[in-house]
Amino acid sequence: MASEEEVEKSVSPEATDDADRQMRRRKRGYLRMYYGVTDEGTGGASAREPANPLDIDSSGFKVDQYMEKMLRNLSLTDLYDKERKVKKETLQLDSNMQHLVYENHSKFIKASETIKEMKDDFQRLEDGMSKLSSRIEGIRSSSNSINEALSERKQQIAKLSSVHHLLKKLQFLFELPGRLNKCLERRAYSQAVNYYVKAQKVLEQYKHLPSFHGIQHDCLAIIDELKTLLKGRLDDQQSSPKMIAEAVDLLLQLQEPPQALCQQYLDNSRRQLESDLLKVETAAKTLPSSTGNDEEDGVVVDAVEFVGVVCNGFLGNMSLIIQSCFDMFIRKKSVCHSTDVAVVSKEALVVFVQELMSRCSSLINDKLTLEAKMLNSAHLARALDRLSGKLHTLDQLLPSAGIYSNCQSMIKMVVHIHTESHAHCLLQNFSSTVTDIRQEIATFKGATPSSTPPLSDHSTALYAAIKTGLDSSLTNLLEFISPDINFTMQDGFRKEFCLKCVRQEVVVDFLNSVIRVCKEFTESSRETVTSYPPSLILILAGVMHQLERSHISYLVSYADEKFSPFEKGKNPATPIDSIVTEAKTTAELLINHYVRMQGQVLAQMIRKSVETRDWLNTIEPRNVRSVMRRMVEEVTVIDKQVGLLFEEGFRKSDGSETSRTFTYSVTKGGNGGYPYSSSHSGLGDSSLLSNIQKLFFEKIEVFGNVEFTKLSIVTGVIKIALKALVECVRLRTFGKYGLQQMQVDAHYLQIYLWRYVSDEQLVRVLLDEVISSTIGRCRDPVLMEQSVVELICENS
């Protein structure tokens, strides 16, 4: 059965609205029908879109056209279904309409009840306001009657009140000397000054009267005594800054010269600050907690406690003195009637503060510089934050002294020393690890002669000295950008700290130092090089290779993530390509250096074995020379060591077992014997044949760069050793049995060395060159039967 949407689509193919849009339009149509709103007034979709005569929800709907389309396009069954659906929708619309009417009717009834209750409430309010108005009117009439009754005696009462007030003043004046003496006895100096200041103008005004003159004379004598006591408090070393400030304030109320008092106040305050500086100096000389058990003696042991002594003592008292000086001499209106007093007092205060702060800053700098080398970032950051906050407060009290600018310079220097100490400690730890590995390799004693040191463990330890140490330092330094540390957020300090101190001085400089230390192993003199175990060079090469491949990028990216003052992707820091390139170059230098060292060891062993033997008079060979067996053993050890740190690599193989059996470039003559004899023509033919065969072999680069694989590294060592054998053979003269001994040695090397090289052809070519050179230097070149050679090698 076709749905309503399919019917409408078949009737009006022009309509493009989906089912949801039609449903929303139908609902809006119901609301407009109920509230009687026309399409033109709503400004809805029907007003904006052209009328569709076949759309039942459109304002231009035509019943006749719609019915004609339906009769023409729908079957009888579809028409019946459409009729039932229309009836069902009609009943649903009637139900919805009744529900809306019921809801609105209920709301109208509730609104009517609410309005009725409001009318009742307003009626009660009106009754209450009427009663209140009548009572206020009664109060007004009572007040008017009372005023009329008392108006006749009002003037008399005012006169008597004035006389009473005057008598009280006179009584206060006559009792003033006694009051002042009692205040002095009770040391209530502030109350005594208050009494005298109140009566001073009256006594000065009526001092020509004998009675007032006597009172003034007695008061002045008492006030002079009070001034002496207050000035004595200024000179008393036991007086606290609060007591001194109170004494100065009372003397100023007694009209003492403000400039002299200001200088005396600063001189007396200096004694207290000198005592505080002595405590700071004592604390600054105390060693950090890591150097002793000073905590048991109750002395300062770390940066936080030291800064606590400075802030609670010297800086706290300095803040109080500055604030008191401003309140008493610079901002006080009763004193600063002349601007000269304020200017002179402020200049004296600035000189006073700068002198003492310079001494204190020197002590703070010495102590925090020592603490900065202890690598305790949490303590140092909290100490610097508290010190910065306290000095910032002082700077706000007296900006002209430049306290905070000097503080910033000192803090930046301390932080710089702290990050340098981290970098130095990292490098020292790395160098110490290298030294420990070198000693362990040198003193290693395995269970068997062929045992090798645990190079993989050493490599892991060396890499951990880089990564774990750097992670630990960065975690410590994160304390400086913690949310509760405020001084790093000011004046671009965070940017400089993250980019310059952490990224450059700790991470980048440390990695460059590691690379430089590793590179020094390849640049030392020959005597120094021989003292380095080749295994150490191999470990350093492996670590450099790991750093170059991924770890440098990881470490620098980790630092950029944790210490980035910029949004993600907007860090303008220098790229790390130069470090990666330098690490790659150093790794190549180290691995080539290792290959040359091991190759030189084998070459030296071969050279001594060739030079110390009489090849003309040697006996017929029955065994492989021990040096060749030793060479195979050394190559096996090298292969095992390299395999612990590097991947296997790819081998070039011709795929035949015969390639692993040594054959020579010489062939038998037509008579069944070897073509080599003592005749001149035989040697010439052999040399020519050997040179022709060399044209078909690729040139072997003996000292070329090697790859970071086991096969490539061991191949490089074997190439150097075999090339040394070739060169040594060319410098000797051989007899018949000497040639045959070299033939046996070469075959032995071939059957064992092929498995250690990346290209079997390489060993075959070099050994072929050894035999060819030996034949060329032999007086009686007769080779041994191949079967005999193989038998000797098997028995060896």
pLDDT in tens, 76-100: 888 888 888 888 888 888 888 888 8
Residue 399 has pLDDT above 80, yes or no: yes
Given this model, what pLDDT does residue 58 score? 74
Given this model, what pLDDT does residue 557 score? 81
Model confidence band, residue 656 (pLDDT cutoffs 50, 70, 90) = very low
- Inter-residue contact 775 to 768 (CB < 8 Å): no
Per-residue pLDDT tens digits for 297-331: 445 458 888 888 888 888 888 888 888 888 777 77
Given this model, what pLDDT does residue 290 score? 47
Model confidence band, residue 337 (pLDDT cutoffs 50, 70, 90) = very low
Q: Which residue has the higher pLDDT, 165 or 637?
A: 637
Given this model, what pLDDT does residue 569 score? 47
Model confidence band, residue 1 (pLDDT cutoffs 50, 70, 90) = very low
Q: Which residue has the higher pLDDT, 614 or 334?
A: 614
Question: What is the CB neighbour count within 10 angstroms for residue 374?
Answer: 17
CA atoms within 13 A on the CB side of 544: 29
Given this model, what pLDDT does residue 565 score? 61
Given this model, what pLDDT does residue 752 score? 85
Rounded CA gap, 682 and 186, in Å? 136
Helix (H) or strand (E) holding 97: helix 76-150
Q: How far is CA 196 from CA 180, 216, 314, 367, in A?
A: 8, 10, 36, 52
Q: Which residue has the higher pLDDT, 332 or 257?
A: 257
Q: Which of 177-191, 525-539, 643-657, 715-729 has the highest mean pLDDT?
A: 715-729
- Inter-residue contact 23 to 56 (CB < 8 Å): no
Model confidence band, residue 296 (pLDDT cutoffs 50, 70, 90) = very low
Q: Which of 42-51, 268-277, 573-582 has the highest mean pLDDT?
A: 268-277
Average pLDDT over residues 214-235: 80
Give the least confident one: 224-233, 522-531, 539-548, 768-777: 522-531
Q: Which residue has the higher pLDDT, 40 or 190?
A: 190
Closest by alpha carbon to 316, among 227, 390, 208?
A: 390
Given this model, what pLDDT does residue 248 score? 78
Average pLDDT over residues 476-495: 81
Residue 348 DSSP SS3: helix
Rounded CA gap, 439 and 429, in Å? 15
- Inter-residue contact 616 to 733 (CB < 8 Å): yes
Per-residue pLDDT tens digits for 232-259: 877 776 777 677 778 877 887 787 787 7
Model confidence band, residue 42 (pLDDT cutoffs 50, 70, 90) = very low
Query: Mean pLDDT score of the chain, rounded to an integer?
Result: 77
Give the torsion sign (CA, 611, 617, 621, 623): negative
- φ and ψ of 60, to 5 deg: -100, 25
- Inter-residue contact 545 to 586 (CB < 8 Å): no
Average pLDDT over residues 532-545: 86
SS3 string, 534-545, reads HHHHHHHHHHHH
Average pLDDT over residues 617-625: 87
Given this model, what pLDDT does residue 450 score? 58
Model confidence band, residue 17 (pLDDT cutoffs 50, 70, 90) = low
Given this model, what pLDDT does residue 241 score? 63
Model confidence band, residue 332 (pLDDT cutoffs 50, 70, 90) = low
- φ and ψ of 105, to 5 deg: -65, -40
Closest by alpha carbon to 455, among 444, 468, 469, 447?
A: 444
Question: Any idea which residue has 């007004």 for tokens?
Answer: 140
Closest by alpha carbon to 470, among 563, 382, 565?
A: 563
Given this model, what pLDDT does residue 449 score? 57
Average pLDDT over residues 37-47: 47
Rounded CA gap, 624 and 766, in Å? 18
Percentage, residues of the chain above pLDDT 70 = 79
Given this model, what pLDDT does residue 3 score? 43
Strand ranges for 134-255 from DSSP E = none
Percentage, residues of the chain above pLDDT 90 = 1
Closest by alpha carbon to 10, among 47, 63, 52, 54?
A: 54
Given this model, what pLDDT does residue 12 score? 45
Given this model, what pLDDT does residue 250 score? 83
Give the least confident one: 35-49, 363-377, 617-631: 35-49
- Inter-residue contact 710 to 641 (CB < 8 Å): no
Average pLDDT over residues 486-506: 81
Average pLDDT over residues 541-549: 86
